[in-house]
Structure 1
Amino acid sequence: MDIQSIKVACSGCNLRELCLPMGLKPQELEHLDQIISNRRRIKRGASLFSAGEAFTALYAVRSGFFKTCITSADGRDQVTGFQMMGEIIGMDGIVHDQHACDAIALEDAEVCVLPFDRIEQLSREFSALQHHVHKIMSREIVRDQGVMLLLGTMRAEERLAAFLLNLVQRLHARGFSQSELVLRMTREEIGSYLGMKLETVSRTFSRFMEDGIIDVRQRYVLIKDTQALERLVNPPMRN
């Protein structure tokens, strides 16, 4: 892991509205600037943190893509999430003071380090920051519940449709296209996350292409019919 102690000013970061609360006063932003004193660069395939490692910080993704995964009792890796720029990772370590999963870079990435003890201290002083931390935690809970719904009640087509819609919506919030995306994860990793076999993932992608819903060229995906994906996830009510 390549660690660089480089000053990162939150006040000048173009991702601040995604990972930091709005409405902080200049003095409060200055305090945050002092806390977030370094960033880390992680090469593709390298770990940001590993299961069992002591929890000391949260990480705001500045660039790149990550996957979080746990190793099952039989030695298989189970993907638990995908994280992109502007998102916070590392919350899994709060409850037991050690990380419960591995966070692995899917491409060369960079994160801002947020020492948790300092974040806790500032949260008690600045209500806006405390509210934002609670909001991030709540978002993680809601996301976990959404994944449970995917795995528990949805067919393969519905799972993949929901996954693509969620991914493109998150990317669009960061200024990217509403209909085009590059998959940073493999189809096997998608299958692990969605509880689907690799063959099922590939077959479902092919079916979407045959139906004219998407176009796929290796990892490039063009969503040609967003409404068709939405209908799969939320089918119209029948009279």
Structure 2
Amino acid sequence: MDAQSIKVACSSCNLRELCLPMGLNVEEMDKMDNVISSRRRIKRGTALFSTGEKFTSLYAVRSGFFKTCVTTADGRDQVTGFQMTGEILGMDGIVNDLHSCDAVALEDAEVCVMPFDQIEELSREFTTLQHHVHKIMSREIVRDHSVMLLLGSMRAEERLAAFLLNLVQRLHARGFSQSELILRMTREEIGSYLGMKLETVSRTFSKFVEDGIIDVKQRYVHIKDTDGLRRIVNPQTCG
């Protein structure tokens, strides 16, 4: 199948409000359509890109779920993030023209390929896109800072509560439920991301169930008490 036959028009994509700036005129949208001319399908468990690979493109997640991870000095995989539909992958490669992490599909996925040199060229042409690219980069920095805060100062319960709240909030922005989610990642991957041992993750999930805050059936999670999760993360703001 050639690239043209699987061309996706951004102008008619229902995700464009998530991964593209609003306010582009018809001519600008046409130019974006020409840049984002193909998409790739990635099978569960395979890498979209790997550490050390040459950076050429950004990728908008059209469907599916990814994790990004790095290999530590002692050979362990450290999960650095989870990315879902409507989010952008590949920004790690901008600084050195090489990817600094692996991006692995947690389920069968599809991405829109955005060649970075063309995105840069268009950004200089219309400022709406340039501003949007800067906004995405800024969001990544803020997310990194949030994770550092999680790892640096929070207890296990606070870490897992903050993780679940963040995940359901991001899913809700994509039209999913505010209280139900399917975890695409394993307990082990959650532990790697949050700096917790697998047993601690499992024990903390069990405690939340006992306390009536969530229900868990394998990877299905029903949040019964969102305020309860918020109180765990920010006890001082709840009277």
Normalised-by-shorter TM-score class: over 0.9
Q: Deviations over 1:101-150 (max 9, x none)?
A: 00000000000000000000000001000000000000000000000000
Q: 1:40 & 1:184 partners in 2: Cα distance?
A: 20
1:150 is aligned to: 150
2:91 is aligned to: 91
Contact 2:91 2:137 (C-alpha < 8 Å) held by counterparts: yes
For residue 168 of structure 1, report the CA deviation from its aligned partner: 0.2
Q: 2:119 & 2:20 partners in 1: Cα distance?
A: 12
2:140 is aligned to: 140
Letter in 2 for 1:10: C
2:171 is aligned to: 171
For residue 238 of structure 1, report the CA deviation from its aligned partner: 8.8
Count of aligned pairs between the two proteins: 237
1:72 is aligned to: 72
1:13 is aligned to: 13
1:59 is aligned to: 59
TM-score between the two structures when normalised by the length of structure 1: 0.98
Q: Which runs of 5+ in 2 are unaligned?
A: none
Contact 1:45 1:107 (C-alpha < 8 Å) held by counterparts: yes
What is the percent sequence identity of the aligned residues? 80
Q: Which runs of 5+ in 1 are unaligned?
A: none
2:236 corresponds to 1:236: yes
Change (3 A) 1:206 1:112: same
Q: Deviations over 1:34-66 (max 9, x none)?
A: 011100000000000000000000000000000
Letter in 2 for 1:73: A
For residue 236 of structure 1, report the CA deviation from its aligned partner: 2.6
Q: 2:2 & 2:184 partners in 1: Cα distance?
A: 24
Change (3 A) 1:35 1:235: same
Change (3 A) 1:33 1:195: same
Q: 1:156 & 1:208 partners in 2: Cα distance?
A: 12
Runs of 4+ deviating beyond 2 Å? 236-239
Q: 2:238 & 2:230 partners in 1: Cα distance?
A: 16
Secondary structure of 2:236's aligned partner: coil
Contact 2:231 2:238 (C-alpha < 8 Å) held by counterparts: no
1:162 is aligned to: 162
2:186 corresponds to 1:186: yes
Q: Deviations over 1:76-108 (max 9, x none)?
A: 000000000000010000000000000000000
1:197 is aligned to: 197
Letter in 1 for 2:223: I
Secondary structure of 2:99's aligned partner: coil
Q: 1:195 & 1:123 partners in 2: Cα distance?
A: 37
Secondary structure of 2:235's aligned partner: coil
Secondary structure of 1:178's aligned partner: coil
Q: Deviations over 1:138-197 (max 9, x none)?
A: 000000000000000000000000000000000000000000000000000000000000
Contact 1:4 1:39 (C-alpha < 8 Å) held by counterparts: no
Q: 2:161 & 2:208 partners in 1: Cα distance?
A: 9
Secondary structure of 1:23's aligned partner: coil
Q: 1:85 & 1:26 partners in 2: Cα distance?
A: 24
For residue 4 of structure 1, report the CA deviation from its aligned partner: 5.8
Q: 1:131 & 1:196 partners in 2: Cα distance?
A: 36
TM-score between the two structures when normalised by the length of structure 2: 0.98
2:226 is aligned to: 226
Contact 1:213 1:229 (C-alpha < 8 Å) held by counterparts: yes
Letter in 1 for 2:90: G
